[in-house]
Amino acid sequence: MTLQNSRTGGQILVDQLLRQGVERITCVPGESYLAALDALHDAAIDVVICRAEGGAAMMAEAYGKLTGRPGICFVTRGPGATNAAHGVHIAMQDSTPMILFVGQVDTAMREREAFQELDYRAVFGSITKWTVEIDDPARIPELVARAFRVAMQGRPGPVVIALPENMLTETAAVADAPRVEPARAWPAPADMERLSMLLADAKRPVAIIGGSGWDAAATASFARFAERFDLPVATSFRRAALFDADHPNYAGDLGIGPDPRLKARIAEADLVLLLGGRLSEIPSSSYTLLDIPVPRQKLIHVHPGSEELGRVYQPTLAIQAAPSAFVAALESLATPPAIAWQGAAAQAHRDYLAWTQDPRQLPGDFQYGQLIAWLRDRLPQDAIICNGAGNYAGWLHRHHRFHAFAAQLAPTSGSMGYGIPAAVLAKRQHPGRTVLAFAGDGCFLMNGQEFATAVQYGAAIVVIVLDNGQYGTIRMHQERDYPGRVVGTQLVNPDFALYARAFGGHGERVERTEEFAPAFERAVASGKPAILHCLLDPRAQSHARDFLPAAVAAE
């Protein structure tokens, strides 16, 4: 490679992003990385300016979910970095490739607790795959290329890179690193032969797919495999977009409060193919779905990270492979001449349709379930639905039906405040697709400031705010565990429709069910970012207990 002319560290850094194919970054500007910002001025990179570091990091995480390449976020040192930790934690638990660049104090000032100084390895060490600080601009190409590789290989996840302020202004003559394409682990022929034998011996198999590392081609390939083997297929928590809900083999999702018939199907299975996911707390119904450490079912666990195979469940067959590589190998798997479980997939799909079809009636004039059913029948199949956390999300996950890859952006970590930043990024990335964000009143105000970002970039998302005047999930738990002792969960909210108009968007207040459809149509027709402020009767909260289990993650 030919050495480039001497460049500043900031310029070298931005040149590496270009070499890695980065088209878009998110940021909140800071004086600690001014040299990198200056280099971005002339770069062919879309710089999405955000209003808070948490929102910026969540946007970058959403980019990773949509593309499979690391989402890139820049924040300043100290409080900027700790604010962004929210998005980093989501990326870790959701297995999403992401790189967070954070400013750092001048190297001459380290270990003095200088202004906004942090030890980033200590702060982020437990929620990243790798955290590094670059002291020498000549090492930027090496370490950035490594960061892209670490973020994408094996189980994908986040990397944090600290950038000392003086390092970004120092110069070096160094060659750029080439674009990184992650190495993929492929299943061994012997593994595929044993898989074939296990399927041939099965009487009641079921597949569970989840995790990251998928693309549209891989999901289509797996659907073909499921058809050939007449295999019932369930999706993991908030991974429903990996399998078309209309597909005759779809058995439903293993989220919070799954269909009891689906749980029974897995409990009674003699073979479980777990592909891409970890079957962690939520999809395993608090680790009760499979026995630990040895499931009573024969378990075939396919995962790109060797550290996840046998971490909780000891499988009959462990295959280290990325989902895309594994499903490619499935294409050559011979279809058995006779399938002992013929018709099981069709019955599982009928159960799924019945479970999701008719939302229950709630107290009050606004029927949230009818809203979801109306959208389910009206939205284009490639619409992208984003949400954070709260009981409102349970209704969405149960009654909406996803059809297209990456049509669902939601944190498996159960993080509130995710929906609006994710929707802004999704609309920026896919301006021609319909993008909706669902948020509870508490969830919205955790990152509602990013509605201003939507207005700034003309990202015409529609935000549906479900307002019941409380932190509803926590209130539900209080009423179950400490009846009559409500504390810390009641909220006094602003007029969210007026909030939207104050930012320059479209806003409407919806108090009755019949008002929603025309308000939604007006919101879409406005061509502006929009908020529909939907008033939900607080009494409806108690009905969530009918389909949410006692053990719910931090929602």
Question: pLDDT tens for residues 461-501?
Answer: 999 999 987 777 787 877 788 888 888 778 789 999 999 99
**Are residues 492 and 466 both part of a single domain?**
yes
Is the pLDDT assigned to residue 552 strictly greater than 60?
no
| Percentage of the chain modeled with pLDDT above 70 | 96
Residue 109, pLDDT score? 86
Nearest to 264 by CA among 237, 219, 232: 232
Distance CA 391, CA 477 (A): 11
CB distance 479 to 542 below 8 Å: yes
User: Region 381-403: what's the mean pLDDT?
Assistant: 95
Are residue 18 and residue 151 in the same domain, yes or no?
yes
pLDDT surpasses 90 at 523: yes
User: What CATH code is carried by the domain that includes residue 321?
Assistant: 3.40.50.1220
Task: Judge if 369 and 503 occupy the same domain.
Answer: yes
Mean pLDDT on 314-342: 94
216's tokens: 């549209």
242 shares its domain with 108: no
Query: What does each C-alpha distance from 538 to 357, 416, 475, 491, 543 come to in angstroms?
Result: 24, 19, 10, 11, 10
pLDDT digits (tens, 9 = 90+) for 163-212: 999 999 999 999 999 999 999 999 999 999 999 999 999 999 999 999 99
Give the domain-ending residue among 335, 352, 369.
352
Per-residue pLDDT of 408-453, as tens digits, reads 999 999 999 999 999 999 999 999 999 999 999 999 999 999 999 9
Range of the domain at 94: 7-172
- Degrees to nearest 5, angle at CA 110 with 109 and 112: 80
**Pair (15, 127) in one structural domain:** yes
User: Where residue 115 falls among pLDDT bands split at 50, 70, 90?
Assistant: confident
Q: Does 139 share its domain with 203?
A: no
Shared-domain flag, residues 439 and 523 = yes
Can you say how many angstroms the Cα of residue 56 is from the centroid of all Cα atoms in its chain?
A: 14
- What confidence score (pLDDT) does residue 545 get? 52
pLDDT tens-digit readout, 137-147: 999 999 999 99
Query: Does 240 have pLDDT greater than 70?
Result: yes
Q: Do 224 and 282 lie in a common domain?
A: yes
The pLDDT of residue 543 is: 54
Examine the domain organization and report whether 264 and 362 are in the same domain: no
What is the number of domains present in the chain? 3
Q: Show the tokens assigned to 508.
A: 């409407």
In a domain, 544, yes or no: no
Long-range contacts (CB closer than 8 Å, 24 or more residues apart) made by 376-381: 376/400, 376/401, 379/434, 379/436, 380/433, 380/434, 381/407
> Where a domain ends, among 319, 352, 385?
352
Q: How far apart are CA 78 and CA 230, in angstroms?
A: 54
Kindly state whether residues 238 and 283 are assigned to the same domain: yes
Q: What is the pLDDT of residues 283-318, one digit of tens each?
A: 999 999 999 999 999 999 999 999 999 999 999 999
Contact call for residues 416 and 254 (beta carbons, < 8 A): no
Which residues, in sequence order, are CB contacts of 511 under 8 Å at separation 6+?
Answer: 365, 366, 535
CA-to-CA distance for 478 and 387, rounded, in angstroms?
A: 23
pTM for the predicted model, two decimal places: 0.94
pLDDT at position 544, please? 54
Q: Average of pLDDT values for 377-399?
A: 94
Residues 25, 45 contacting (CB under 8 angstroms):
yes
pLDDT of residue 3: 59
- The mean predicted confidence, pLDDT, of the chain is 94
Task: Count the neighbouring beta carbons within 10 Å of the beta carbon of residue 478.
Answer: 18
